[in-house]
A and B are shown apart, each in its own frame.
Chain A
Amino acid sequence: MFDPEKLKKLQEQKSRWEETTLQQSLADRPERMGQFLTTSGAPVERLYTPLDVASLDYERDLGFPGEYPFTRGIHATMHRGRLWTMRMFAGFGTAEETNARYKYLLDHGETGLSVAFDMPTLYGYDSDAPEALGEFGKCGVAVSSLADMEILFDGIPVDQITTSMTINSPAAVIWAMYIVMAEKRGIPMQVLGGTIQNDILKEFIAQKEFIFPPRPSMRLVVDTFEFGSKYLPRWNTISISGYHIREAGATAVQELAFTLADGFEYVRWGMERGLKVDEFAPRLSFFFNSHNDFFEEIAKFRAARRIWAREMRETFGAQDPRSWRLRFHTQTAGCSLTACQPENNIVRTAWQALAAVLGGTQSLHTNSMDEALALPSEYAVKIALRTQQLIAHESGVTHTVDPLAGSYFVEAMTNRIEQEVYRYFRQIEALGGVIPAIEKGFFQREIAEAAYRYQMEIDTHQRVIVGVNEYIEDEPIRIPLLEMDPHGYERQVARLERLRRERDNERVSSTLAALRQAARGTENTMPYILNCVRAYATLGEIMGVFRQVFGEYREPTII
């Protein structure tokens, strides 16, 4: 991109500057630190010039938005055409309470739904299972059966709005409940749009909400790919997630490398099932974290698109440009929130969200200021949503596509992240691929190391976190926290008991038996799951079948 002669001159000029102006300046006002590091611990230079991006080839590395390699964005007009979907992750207590929250958010300008399920649901237990003690409705909404799903979306136009559901091990079952809920309202599955997270690999790597061993888990994931590619053309059957990897303590590079490696693993499994890559790859979507380091995050998103496009085209032979496009949802970094001085979290979230927008996100969740303390209150969640609206309509950053392209710093950082991601790819390959690397604890160890390093930087004051290790206050916390219905649990248990009494229990047994048979074989399990759901079999009953057939997984000991 640059004339070699000019670069040579520039190098001379830079040396001169270092010896004169810089030298003088350092003598007068020394720098605050010996080394400046990103949130991920990567060194940042004092100054970036064309010398740092000398090898950049505009057409090859950046191109035009909406075209390969999509570094500048997946749409030609990006946010000039359509703003990102403002999708707030929400759910708590009973389906009734969460339904009310969804209506509140939609009333305030939210443009997509995102369901948070409670821990028992995430682990495939009914609300009244002994394992669920104390967990009901705490981290999200409890959905134990189709009946709960019907209440959750009561009065919400699911044929017009897209819904994202953060569910992994039981993803196929929860998806089936959503499909049947719509079916009963006369909405065919073909028109449904949305996403199931369904990313089991990152559960083994970071989030730890796995149930079955990796291979049968992957089979269920591919079952949903196959089913979705046939019957739900508007549904993203997976959201390959770096978010939780980052939350577990990974660096930006680790987040990206591990997530993309997971993505390629899903592609391989889909192709092994006999699906053509272009049949399912366009429905793969991604989910990233936007952490504190503004430029590093933007560079990460740009590198992500470039790597995915290249690998999908060159390695997996995808022909359809839609298979090359990395579409992603972003959530601001929950782990960056502090329990003390929670109002500061509004500011943190704002620039993290800004980074996601400048990085070209397709949808966004902004954390509420109180999330290090509890589930968000209405008050807090509204400010978080407003933050997105402020960026969209007042900041001006949406007026042009990929405004930071060509910044020597951002391009150099994008290149560096890309190179380091490839280094991880080679390591993972050397270990035999993603699943063997999981079984050997590779990812878990890398993340635990990074998390510990980060904590030590804070503890030793190498890294300042406002309100935590500097500017500390002893003020009590004044923001109002969410109050949940104290009788929600009893109502849920009563509903479950009534359901088990009143449904056609013979039909439940026979559909569960058919599912067991299918699970033991190699057939796609989705049609069988749908039948169980239609018979009002509970989540725990359906997942119980899989638990029996597949067994439960124990993770390697990595600390």
Chain B
Amino acid sequence: MTDKKIRVLIAKPGLDGHDRGAKVIARALRDAGMEVVYTGIRQTPEMIVEAALQEDVDVVGLSILSGAHMALFPRIMDLMRQHGLDDVLVVAGGIIPDEDVPALQAMGVKGVFGPGTSTDTIVRFIREHLS
């Protein structure tokens, strides 16, 4: 009688306060039956990885619109590895130029979703990658 739920951490690294997208995604994932740990704005890489560890999430979703992703994501991915969280699916959304996507994928960010991505696409992506 296992009752496995997908657990997702939604976090906003960096300083920007634009949390519209993060909140919409959090709701959409909840409505898709997932448990969403929402940590809110201004999260440092350390805080994000600590939360991912304690909450034992399957997915970490990072939302960033400030343009600081190329400075913050490598640190987050490093810390994830250091804490043995290699198996956690990491996805990102926000204002992320196409030219940065290959570098992000190389460091282990599996999905990058820009403005205009439907919430269904993200739900499907998560389900496919976890199954």
Contact = CB atoms under 8 A, between A and B. Distances in A.
A460 to B, nearest CB: 9
Question: Which of A208, A465, A476 lies at the interface centre, i.e. has the most chain B CB atoms within 10 A of its CB?
Answer: A208
Contacts of B86: none
B40 A557 contact: yes
Interface string A451-494: 11001101100000101110000001100010000000000000
Contact of B17 (A207, A459, A467): A207
Contact of A559 (B38, B97, B99): B38
A397 interface: no
B55 to A, nearest CB: 15
Interface stretch (A94-102, A337-345, A517-525): A337-345
Most buried by B among A335, A455, A458: A455
Interface in B85-108: 95, 97-99
B130 interface: no
B67 A559 contact: no
A119 B115 contact: no
A345 to B, nearest CB: 11
Given A139-B67, A451-B24, A559-B38, A208 B17 contact: yes
Contacts of B129: none
Nearest to A477: B98
Interface in B7-57: 14-20, 23-24, 26-28, 38, 40-41
Given A138-B66, A340-B116, A451-B20, A208 B71 contact: no
A374 B97 contact: yes
> Which of B28, B75, B115 has most A Cβ within 10 Å?
B115
A481 B68 CA distance: 16
A559 B72 contact: no
A119 B72 contact: no
B115 A133 contact: no
Contacts, number: 100
Consensus secondary structure, chain A interface: loop
Chain B interface size, under 10 / 10 to 19 / 20 to 34 / 35 or more: 20 to 34
B26 A559 contact: yes
Contact of A131 (B15, B20, B70): B15
Contacts of B18: 207-208, 247-248
A135 B14 contact: yes
B15 A135 contact: yes
Nearest to B22: A559
B66 A135 contact: yes
Nearest to B65: A139
A242 interface: no
B114 interface: yes
A42 interface: no
Given A452-B24, A455-B119, A208 B19 contact: yes
A220 to B, nearest CB: 18
A209 interface: yes
Contacts of B75: 133
Given A135-B68, A458-B118, A119 B15 contact: yes
Nearest to A476: B98
B58 to A, nearest CB: 19
Contact of A138 (B17, B28, B38, B67): B67
Interface string A352-375: 000000000000000000001111
Nearest to A248: B20
Contact of B114 (A247, A249, A372, A555): A372
Contacts of B17: 203, 207-209
Given A138-B66, A465-B116, A247 B20 contact: yes
Q: Top 9 A-B pairs ranked by shortest CB distance? A: A134-B71, A208-B17, A134-B68, A138-B67, A119-B15, A468-B116, A339-B114, A459-B118, A135-B68
Given A207-B18, A338-B115, 16 more contacts: A119-B14, A133-B68, A134-B14, A135-B15, A208-B17, A247-B18, A372-B114, A374-B95, A375-B67, A451-B20, A451-B24, A455-B119, A458-B118, A459-B120, A476-B98, A555-B40
17 contacts: A133-B75, A134-B68, A134-B70, A135-B14, A135-B15, A139-B66, A207-B17, A208-B17, A249-B20, A335-B20, A374-B67, A451-B24, A452-B27, A455-B24, A459-B118, A459-B120, A559-B38
Interface of A: 119-120, 122-123, 131-135, 138-139, 203, 207-209, 247-249, 335, 337-340, 372-375, 448, 451-452, 455-456, 458-459, 465, 467-469, 476-477, 481, 555, 557, 559
